[in-house]
Structure 1
Amino acid sequence: MNKTPRIIFIMDPIESLLPKKDTTIGMMMGAVSLNLPIYYTKQESIYLLEGVVQTTAQEITLHTKGDNQLKSLEDWYSLKPSENLVFGPNDIVLQRKDPPFNMHYIHTTYLLELMEKQGSLICNRPDSLRDCNEKMFTTWFPELCPPTLVTSQSHHIKAFIEKHHDTIVKPLDGMGGSSIFRVVEKDANLNVILETLTEHNTTSIMVQRYIPEIKQGDKRIILINGKPAPYLLARVPAENETRGNLAAGATGVVQELSENDQRICDTLGPELVKRGLYFVGLDVIGNYLTEINVTSPTGIRQIDDEKGTFLGKDIIEALLVEWKKGA
């Protein structure tokens, strides 16, 4: 094994990234600052041939000024010619493909597990990517969550709404605030919302008591190998909006963690480490945990820009520690 690992990013098309705020780019800059070679490949480029997982990839050169800043938002990278890579013990592989979490993604996790067998370190661990649904995983920690119901049956949902009066209804596989509804008692659209989300009582969804503190922001807390970053990104909803998602027009505000935020991190940290979830984004509203983002967490660039941190480098350094354990 070489002393310097390759850092391989499995990601969306590189030209689609937003260079000002994309977390994957922040992680790339972290690797470059540590003099590590970085490679770009796509989920559909990974293949198994005669028992060996490999891919077509391109080495990336970032055009940076200093460790944590791009020279330009237009011309920020260049790619070397494509080459075939066989995954092995000299690789740290970051699965940064954005959801949707579909069967293609599931099949990719099987290939990622075989990469592990070939000696690569995978972030996050493939079986945990599969097992830890970003909404359902919160239910392992009911003491941290608002009152919650998961069901496909409308009569259970209506009883829950009658009890709690003001609720949030959302699919288990959504992202970016899509298909999230605030529903109150006697909502004229209740039946059609439930018919649509549950696909006529055949698909489970999540219902939670509405948390009014959403007006102060949906807090994104970054955990690196079970430890929280020193600051969080509170996503404050736009006017007349209940969703604290940047994709839904929310405004990001960087804050320090509260005592309760730290308590949530202390509770979750050991379980995340045990599951090989090296890079996680918690969503916290008020005092309640609402999501545990494991597939492709975001938010580090906004924190870095305001506070001068370098979370992308912190993530890569943490992965290097794990990689050296297997060296």
Structure 2
Amino acid sequence: MKLLFIADPLDTFKTHKDSTFAMMREAATRGHELWACEPRELVWRRGSQVSTRARRIQLTGDAHDWYDEMDATELALCQTDAVLMRKDPPFDAEYLYATHLLTQAEREGARVFNRPEALRAHPEKLAIMEFPEHIAPTLVTREIAAIRAFHDQHRDIILKPLDGMGGMGIFRVKDDGLNLGSIAETLTHDGQQTIMVQAFLPAIAEGDKRVLLINGEPVPYALARIPQGGEVRGNLAAGGKGVAQPLGEADRAIAMHLGPILAARGLLLVGLDIIGDRLTEINVTSPTCFQEITDQTGFNVAQRFVDALEAAAAAAS
């Protein structure tokens, strides 16, 4: 198959832990062609198909100079066998515009994973609100007074922007309410930007678990990202320690409920974030943790994913 990866610049990849790289490596072992571009390179001209300036790459096996560029050409997305949208957040206006171009590419015959319509419909933090039975007390607002009232009720809360990743911009305000006003004003830009507020979950001490769904089926191991050094955030990007572990009963129950629903919407790969028995995020843009789970358990996540990708691409052709 000819696979086009739409991702961040290849030179920024940390190949020892990057899940997109793990996908590429597995696909390459099966003889698939690897092509890459960035979202900014997507083009739609009047009367033409959505295309990009794509580069064909070959993996070298070197940890640093990990790819060679074999060819570069203007490539219509519908001329590929599968397009993988793997751009990291933020889910900003430019990301949204890229999904609209990808929707047009689908009309022209491209097979895009995850489906752009589903990406638009599932902002990663807001998406949990569809499943209230699985989440902690949560408020989405830009009103400072509503945030103060939520703190008065729950006393220990987490505040976070809706478009962050890697734990960026997450604050905890405890019972004393210290700096609540300043934090709320900063995150909402004085009431101009909507944020999420949640009751603090003490189970974060045991890790923020990433549960991967591939075509609706859970990978049997989660990666518990455990906060370190007094941090409230377990994200690996914020210094959390990643520990792979078998899915717990609550993890599996949430995964089995959401898996078929999300897969039916065109989400081939999903990363659920679970603290204790509560769902905190539904990651659909570029779910990670493939390599950490594989390295610690021997379960080849990339192999499972490429199996599902091949089957999905074939079914859509």
Q: What interval of TM-score do these two structures reach, taking the shorter chain for normalisation?
A: over 0.9
Q: Is the 8 A contact 1:236 1:250 kept in 2?
A: yes
* Structure 2 residue identity aligned to 1:242: V
- Give how far 1:164 is off: 1.0
Q: What's the counterpart of residue 15 of structure 1?
A: 11
SS in 1 for 2:212: strand
Q: Is the 8 A contact 2:91 2:123 kept in 1?
A: no
SS in 1 for 2:44: strand
Q: CA RMSD in A?
A: 1.2
- Give how far 1:313 is off: 2.2
2:288 equivalent among 298, 301, 310: 298
SS in 2 for 1:188: coil
Mapped to 1, the partners of 2:51 and 2:146 lie a distance apart of: 47
Q: 1:55-74 residue pairs with structure 2 within 5 A?
A: 55-63=52-60, 71-74=61-64
Does 173-182 or 183-192 show the bigger shift? 183-192
Q: Is the 8 A contact 1:232 1:303 kept in 2?
A: yes
SS in 2 for 1:20: coil
Q: 1:72-91 residue pairs with structure 2 within 5 A?
A: 72-88=62-78, 90-91=80-81
Structure 1 residue runs of 4+, over 3 Å off? none
Aligned length: 316
1:159 matches 2:149: yes
SS in 1 for 2:91: coil
Mapped to 2, the partners of 1:112 and 1:181 lie a distance apart of: 35
1:114 matches 2:101: no
SS in 2 for 1:252: strand
Structure 2, unmatched stretches of 5+, are none
2:168 equivalent among 178, 181, 197: 178
Query: TM-score, normalized by length of structure 1?
Result: 0.94
State the Cα deviation string for residues 85-120 of structure 1 (Å, max 9, x = none).
112264200111111211111111011001111211
State the Cα deviation string for residues 119-174 of structure 1 (Å, max 9, x = none).
11111110111121111100100000011111111111111111111111111111
- Give how far 1:183 is off: 0.7
1:53 matches 2:43: no
Q: Is the 8 A contact 2:4 2:80 kept in 1?
A: no
Q: What's the counterpart of residue 20 of structure 2?
A: 24
Percent identity over paired residues: 44
* Structure 2 residue identity aligned to 1:62: L
Q: What's the counterpart of residue 42 of structure 1?
A: 38
Mapped to 2, the partners of 1:8 and 1:295 lie a distance apart of: 16
Mapped to 2, the partners of 1:286 and 1:223 lie a distance apart of: 18
Structure 1, unmatched stretches of 5+, are 64-70
Q: 1:82-101 residue pairs with structure 2 within 5 A?
A: 82-88=72-78, 90-101=80-91
Q: Is the 8 A contact 1:94 1:122 kept in 2?
A: yes
Q: What's the counterpart of residue 136 of structure 1?
A: 126
Q: Is the 8 A contact 1:171 1:204 kept in 2?
A: yes
Q: Is the 8 A contact 2:57 2:71 kept in 1?
A: no
